[in-house]
């Protein structure tokens, strides 16, 4: 088994605590990059009204500021993961950072809506290269169980709370500077991360001999783009719209062809043994279901706080702080400590039950709810639950993977998150809109004043959708409990040492 370059701690060799302090600074670099990628999915949400006004976007087109990013990110992740495996994780990490910074600068300087949409798509494409590289660098650097728990605790905390942090940062930048800084802010972060990557991160060369599976790229990425696009269009158009149905049908057809081809390809884009593994499949499914519920929450709470309770962008962002703190606490202080001693599902299943309990509390909110007594306890419960879940999902899904497959495995975890987010946003928003319309129509017929009925109807729609989100969270907990059978890592033993390269 290869140990790595002389003088460096090999990625798969046990390294005693304190031998190489640089790997913890390397974690800071990886965490910075991951935070930038995750928060960019939501940082522009609060800035969207300002950007729409400045660039004269129509209501029908404004969704592309969000969709262009998620479409490129979710659709190209598998390709990004395989590129990381082929040419080296550190190299693709740096390329991803530089590309993301350039795309962010173009978006910040946008003079038309088309220019902004294009920049957001470019951001998503480079994020699809960056995210798998970041996670696989983490996977191959930290293999000692104690260190691995701490490192994945930090990563899981950022993956879970990054979206909420995006609302906070977006609110502050929009209110005190302007919407363009929601994009410009990525440039200094990326520059810091690039400098840190060159100085602190180490990686073995890529596996160029494997080759790139071009038909797999076209089928897999095409299928994912069609599915993600279908869910994004289902929100404004409705589920029975011919375009939406055509996108879903073509996406399923392409993904079916993709699976068929992966059994025959000489160098498959996604080796099927990765998703045939029960623990990994359980983690991918748990992540997707958990993210469906989580993104629904972010969507409704942002509108509820700003439109119903009348919060400013900054106050809305700050209202998410307890959720962010709870996710970080659950991930770094609870999961990271307990994963050494208990099976992953003993964290993931209770975590999802806890998050579902928080969701259930939120279903009691009204037009006049108090943030302190009714919203805050629910956010704390959900944050702790998501923190308990995300960290063991990332650690278990990426454990024991052959080095040449670590990038594409990391990409599959991220794909589960992106697809879950797209489904959650479209599905739960449709449920909320339908419920609100039915409530408002029924109550207006009774002669009730419109000024009272409309806000109450909107909140009724939110609470109906949140009940569904709670159900999905419980399903995620059940999935984790039944499918993830991995045992707790043993002390002092490298975590599921990957298959030697010579074997693969």
pLDDT at 489: 65
**Do 108 and 235 have their domain in common?**
no
pLDDT tops 80 at residue 338: yes
Please tell me the chain's helix, strand, coil percentages from 3-state DSSP, rounded to the nearest 5: 75, 0, 25
Q: Is position 102 within any domain?
A: yes
Q: Is position 416 within any domain?
A: yes
Helices (DSSP H) in 345-405: which residue ranges? 345-362, 376-397
pLDDT tops 80 at residue 5: no
Per-residue HEC secondary structure of 316-352 comes to: HHHHCHHHHHHHHHHHHHHHHHHCCCCCCHHHHHHHH
**Do 235 and 347 have their domain in common?**
no
**Do 154 and 295 have their domain in common?**
yes
pLDDT at 59: 64
Q: How does DSSP assign 190-217, residue by residue?
A: HHHHHHHHHHH-------GGG---HHHH
**Do 64 and 164 have their domain in common?**
yes
**Do 188 and 232 have their domain in common?**
no
**Do 231 and 277 have their domain in common?**
no
Residue 324 is part of a domain; what is its CATH number?
A: 1.20.1250.20
pLDDT at 10: 40
**Do 137 and 236 have their domain in common?**
no
Range of the domain at 254: 213-268
Q: Is position 16 within any domain?
A: no
Count the domains in the chain: 2
- 459-480 average pLDDT score: 94
Tokens of 456: 């109450």
**Do 329 and 410 have their domain in common?**
yes
Q: Is position 471 within any domain?
A: yes
Among 268, 284, 315, identify where a domain stops.
268
Most confident of 204-213, 313-322, 468-477, 490-499: 468-477
Q: Is position 129 within any domain?
A: yes
Helices (DSSP H) in 177-277: which residue ranges? 181-184, 186-200, 214-237, 242-262, 272-276
Q: Is position 333 within any domain?
A: yes
Which tens digit of pLDDT belongs to each residue from 43-86?
A: 887 777 788 888 988 766 777 887 788 888 888 888 888 888 78
Average of per-residue pLDDT values in the chain: 82
Lowest mean pLDDT among 132-146, 196-210, 237-251, 426-440: 196-210
**Do 264 and 280 have their domain in common?**
no
Percent of the chain with pLDDT over 90: 28
pLDDT at 351: 95
The separation between the first and the last C-alpha atoms of the chain, rounded to the nearest angstrom, is 12
Q: Write the CA distances from 295 to 65, 384, 418, integer angstroms.
A: 17, 16, 10
Tally of CB atoms within 10 A around 444 = 14
Q: Is position 493 within any domain?
A: no
Confidence bin at 14 (pLDDT 50/70/90): very low
The two most distant CA atoms of the chain are separated, in Å, by 81
- 84-110 average pLDDT score: 90
Q: Is position 422 within any domain?
A: yes
- 108-132 average pLDDT score: 91
Confidence bin at 205 (pLDDT 50/70/90): low
Confidence bin at 317 (pLDDT 50/70/90): confident
**Do 350 and 443 have their domain in common?**
yes
Among 221, 251, 268, identify where a domain stops.
268
Which tens digit of pLDDT belongs to each residue from 134-159?
A: 877 877 777 676 777 777 777 777 77
**Do 192 and 276 have their domain in common?**
yes
**Do 217 and 299 have their domain in common?**
no
């Amino acid at each position: 088994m290869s140990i790595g370059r002389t003088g460096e701690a090999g990625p798969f060799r046990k390294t005693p605590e304190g031998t190489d302090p640089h790997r913890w600074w390397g974690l800071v670099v990886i965490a910075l990059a991951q935070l930038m990628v995750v928060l960019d999915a939501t940082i522009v949400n609060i800035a969207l009204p300002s950007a729409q006004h400045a660039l004269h976007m129509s209501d029908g087109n404004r969704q592309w500021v969000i969709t262009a990013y998620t479409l490129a990110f979710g659709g190209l992740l598998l390709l990004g993961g395989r590129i990381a495996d082929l040419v080296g994780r550190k190299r693709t990490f740096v390329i991803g950072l530089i590309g993301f910074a350039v795309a962010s600068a173009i978006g910040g300087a946008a003079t038309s809506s088309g220019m902004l949409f294009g920049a957001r798509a470019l951001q998503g494409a480079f994020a699809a290269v960056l995210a798998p590289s970041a996670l696989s660098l983490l996977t191959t650097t930290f293999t000692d169980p104690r260190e691995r728990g701490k490192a994945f605790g930090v990563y899981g905390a950022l993956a879970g709370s990054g979206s909420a942090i995006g609302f906070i940062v977006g609110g502050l930048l929009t209110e005190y500077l302007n919407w363009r800084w929601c994009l410009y802010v990525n440039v200094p972060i990326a520059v810091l991360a690039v400098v840190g990557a060159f100085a602190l991160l180490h990686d073995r060369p890529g596996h160029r001999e494997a080759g790139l599976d071009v038909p797999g790229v076209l089928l897999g990425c095409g299928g994912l783009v069609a599915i993600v696009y279908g869910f994004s269009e289902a929100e404004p158009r409705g589920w029975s719209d011919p375009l939406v149905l055509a996108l879903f049908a073509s996406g399923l057809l392409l993904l079916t062809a993709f699976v068929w081809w992966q059994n025959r390809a000489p160098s498959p884009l996604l080796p099927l043994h990765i998703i045939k593994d029960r623990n990994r499949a359980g983690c991918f499914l748990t992540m997707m279901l958990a993210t469906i519920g989580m993104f629904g929450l972010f969507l409704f709470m942002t509108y509820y706080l700003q439109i119903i309770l009348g919060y400013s962008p900054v106050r809305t962002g700050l209202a998410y702080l307890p959720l962010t703190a709870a996710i970080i606490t659950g991930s770094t202080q609870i999961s990271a400590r307990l994963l050494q001693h208990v099976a992953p599902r003993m964290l993931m299943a209770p975590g999802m039950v806890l998050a579902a309990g928080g969701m259930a509390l939120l279903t009691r909110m009204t037009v006049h709810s108090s943030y302190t007594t009714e919203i805050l306890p629910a956010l704390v419960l959900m944050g702790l639950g998501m923190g308990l879940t995300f960290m063991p999902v990332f650690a278990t899904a990426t454990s024991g993977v052959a080095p040449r497959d670590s990038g594409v495995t990391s990409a599959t975890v991220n794909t589960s998150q992106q697809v879950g987010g797209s489904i959650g946003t479209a599905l739960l928003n449709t449920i909320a809109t339908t419920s609100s319309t039915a409530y408002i129509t029924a109550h207006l017929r009774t002669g009730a004043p419109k000024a009272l009925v409309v806000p109450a109807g909107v909140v009724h729609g939110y609470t109906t959708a949140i009940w569904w989100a709670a159900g999905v969270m419980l399903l995620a907990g059940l999935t984790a409990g039944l499918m993830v059978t991995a045992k707790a890592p043993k002390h002092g033993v490298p975590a599921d040492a990957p298959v030697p390269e010579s074997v693969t």
